[in-house]
Structure 1
Amino acid sequence: MASTDPTHVTENQSREEESLSRECKELIPTLPREKGWTVRYLYLFQGFWCNPHRIQPIYTFQKQFQAKDSDVIVATYPKSGTTWLKALTFAVVNRHNFPSSENHPLLTSNPHHLVPFFETSIYGEMIHDQIPDLSNVIERRIFGTHVPFPSLAKSIKDNSKCKIIYLCRNPFDNFVSLWMFVNKVKLESAPTLMLEEAFEMHCNGTTRYGPFWNHILGYWKESIARPEKVLFLKYEDLKDDVNFYVKRVGEFLGCPFTHEEESSGVIEDIVQLCSFEKMKELEVNKCGTFTRDVGNKHFFRKGEVGDWVNYLSPSMVEKLCKIIEEKFRGSGLSFRMCS
């Protein structure tokens, strides 16, 4: 149960204020703000909506992080299949280090610990002038992020040959998954976020790292301009033919599967190891924690395509279809519901 003790809240606020640089202390009050899903306000930071306690880590990440040519960045909009993509990418990259699934790190560690987020795990707990020690990160280094493409560190975007794998999800399922997740991990003292209210905020773009259409289009356009830099995947395609896309990830990362590996079932082993059913039943994902308030179990709900039909009314579907048609028109990107 999350603590609601006033002393605890004051200590958290004091620690967050201490972690802020002078620039961020001066910046945040000047930013446009709207009601947030899990916080009182979201702030419009660099063109996307951000929780206030994530602005400093992102700002520090942008200034400090130095990408290596061999780095891999797993990028997603929240609740787009992040956990699955992290697991698959980690397994593909490290398949020679852990040839047997019997002692594989994914059996004892959640993918979010093996592939840490820049804005939470790496820079999220740092005082603004501290530099995280990444010397013990096993190469090839793999990191995760929800940060939109334009706000990635310059060393990732322009100063290195590191690779970015982006996974997007049908906006209907994406919304429902995000809404369900938020209500599961909220403080018990906080009111339930009603579906209708959350949907309106989603359609207005005022969600973490949103608007969702800008997030998706940023990576989509970069994948068209620099296909050697950004691999753009769809969650629904991955569900349809995961073997094909695991092979595609290996090719994109410069570590293609050999004929011997394919014939001996290495791809199938990775798919099985990283399957939703397998990961959900692991002890670490039943009882472990990602942060103090978020358990690993919260990252495994259904993993289905089309579950949105059980939640969205016809008028909601019509409204979201119109938004998708408008925002993605001319981009060459479509989703099955509105294609």
Structure 2
Amino acid sequence: MASPPSLLPASAPSAGDGEEAHREAYEQLRQLVSTYPTVPSGLDTPYHRHPDGWYTFLPAMVSVMVAQRHFTARDTDIIITTFPKCGTTWLKALLFATVRRGRDGVDAALAQLGARNPHQLVSFLEIQVYVRDRVPDLSSLPAPRLLATHIPRPTLPASVAASGCKVVYMCRDPKDCLVSLWHFLNAQRPEPREDIGEDFRLFCDGVSLVGPYWDHVLAYWRWHVERPGQVLFMTYEELSADTLGQLRRLAEFVGRPFTDEERAARVDEAIVKACSVESLAGAEVNRSGTVELMEEPMRNAMFFRRGVVGDWPNYLSPEMARRIDEITESKFRGSGLVLPTMTINT
């Protein structure tokens, strides 16, 4: 059963007479990125090295470059930025319900979450918007526009920082992130890897989707430190430990705080319950539906596994965990960033 379509404009028209020029621009970029260094990924396509990160799909790298050139942010935009497998789906659901709740209550927003996967409600710039050789016209989307991306900070469209729009970044313990990423990639591999060892080695070397992980996280952390009014920095672990408190923090940041009346009516609690991993995973649309990413349908169920904190000991040896924590401590030293799940003394 296919899911309902994305909430992007149905036509998402290319800009006027420039369609052919856009196709040519995409083709030129495809030619360029095909010359970049590669590393085997176990997928049908290898990792490709962009100057600011690794990508497994050439079209995604091309789309990142197109978005960098053409996306014009507004000061009213709200953009989720994450490293892959750090709770993006969960964060999208929470943000959508919070921002889209209306004067008559939250029921309409929650109904949409019951009918659509969060990735259809908050689209990725690089794998849903700038695809199919298009430069879509996003001007008809009402404010605030909710969008998402995995793009590393150095490659983010310059208009995002310049506009002053709200950016919400969430990271996760790299050990749990690696395990979740391994499961996600294995679901797509022609021959799934039974052992996590090779993915562990590559991850530690910085080779992973939009990796290195540490560069990705640190760049957004530093941006948050410099501009805390524009960039909110969250962790998956904090959100898991105090979902209601972190939801209220998120709502305040994006300018949609819960009123006293809403708190009394437990609107915020209703959002937490409806957006839990268990609730989202149990929805029919997420059990049997699909969403189009990079022009290919992906099963919604792939975006929901366990969603717990501390799953890594089931897959990583103590030596592996220690190695990742040592890299984390070294990379983040002096930044002020300390993740809540380090297993070595920092």
- Superposed displacement of residue 191, structure 1: 4.7
1:296 corresponds to: 300
Equivalent residue in structure 2 for 1:325, among 329, 335, 338: 329
Q: 1:246-265 alignment to 2 at 5 Å?
A: 246-265=247-266
Equivalent residue in structure 2 for 1:161, among 145, 160, 164: 164
* 3-state SS of 2:298 partner: coil
Deviation string 1:16-55 (CA, Å, 9 cap, x unpaired) is xx77635424422442322225343222213211232212
TM-score of the aligned structures, taking structure 2 as reference length = 0.86
Deviation string 1:258-297 (CA, Å, 9 cap, x unpaired) is 1111122111011111111111110000011123452000
Q: Matches of 1:241 and 1:263 in 2, distance apart? A: 19
Q: Matches of 2:283 and 2:327 in 1, distance apart? A: 39
CA separation of 1:300/1:195 partners in 2, compared to 1, >3 Å: closer, same or farther?
Answer: same
Deviation string 1:58-109 (CA, Å, 9 cap, x unpaired) is 1111111111111000111000000000000111101116724366210100
TM-score of the aligned structures, taking structure 1 as reference length = 0.88
CA separation of 1:247/1:193 partners in 2, compared to 1, >3 Å: closer, same or farther?
Answer: same
Q: Is the 8 A contact 1:75 1:167 kept in 2?
A: yes
1:14 corresponds to: none
Asked whether 1:44 is paired with 2:45, we answer no
Deviation string 1:244-264 (CA, Å, 9 cap, x unpaired) is 111111111112111111122
Moved more, 202-211 or 94-103: 94-103
Q: Which residue type is aligned with residue 149 of structure 1?
A: R
- Superposed displacement of residue 306, structure 1: 0.5
Q: 1:180-329 alignment to 2 at 5 Å?
A: 180-186=183-189, 189-192=190-193, 194-291=195-292, 292-329=296-333
* 3-state SS of 2:123 partner: coil
* 3-state SS of 1:305 partner: coil
1:73 corresponds to: 79
Q: Is the 8 A contact 2:290 2:298 kept in 1?
A: yes
Q: Matches of 1:278 and 1:35 in 2, distance apart? A: 36
CA separation of 1:235/1:262 partners in 2, compared to 1, >3 Å: closer, same or farther?
Answer: same
Identical aligned pairs, as a percentage?
40
- Superposed displacement of residue 192, structure 1: 3.0
Q: Is the 8 A contact 2:287 2:300 kept in 1?
A: yes
Equivalent residue in structure 1 for 2:117, among 106, 110, 115: 110
Q: Is the 8 A contact 1:36 1:206 kept in 2?
A: no
RMSD of equivalent CA atoms: 1.8
- Superposed displacement of residue 168, structure 1: 0.3
Asked whether 1:28 is paired with 2:29, we answer no
Q: Matches of 1:143 and 1:198 in 2, distance apart? A: 29
Equivalent residue in structure 2 for 1:94, among 94, 100, 119: 100
Equivalent residue in structure 2 for 1:132, among 131, 136, 149: 136
Q: Is the 8 A contact 2:106 2:267 kept in 1?
A: no
Deviation string 1:122-145 (CA, Å, 9 cap, x unpaired) is 012x21xx3213244343210010
2:91 corresponds to: 85
Q: Is the 8 A contact 1:77 1:146 kept in 2?
A: yes
Asked whether 1:64 is paired with 2:65, we answer no
Q: Is the 8 A contact 1:61 1:119 kept in 2?
A: yes
CA separation of 1:109/1:76 partners in 2, compared to 1, >3 Å: closer, same or farther?
Answer: same
Structure 1 stretches lacking a partner, 5+ long: 1-17
1:174 corresponds to: 177
- Superposed displacement of residue 185, structure 1: 2.7
Q: Is the 8 A contact 2:96 2:122 kept in 1?
A: yes
Q: Matches of 1:149 and 1:97 in 2, distance apart? A: 35
Q: Matches of 2:142 and 2:209 in 1, distance apart? A: 30
Moved more, 177-186 or 280-289: 177-186
1:123 corresponds to: 130
Q: Which residue type is aligned with residue 75 of structure 1?
A: T
* 3-state SS of 2:329 partner: helix
Q: Is the 8 A contact 2:101 2:107 kept in 1?
A: no
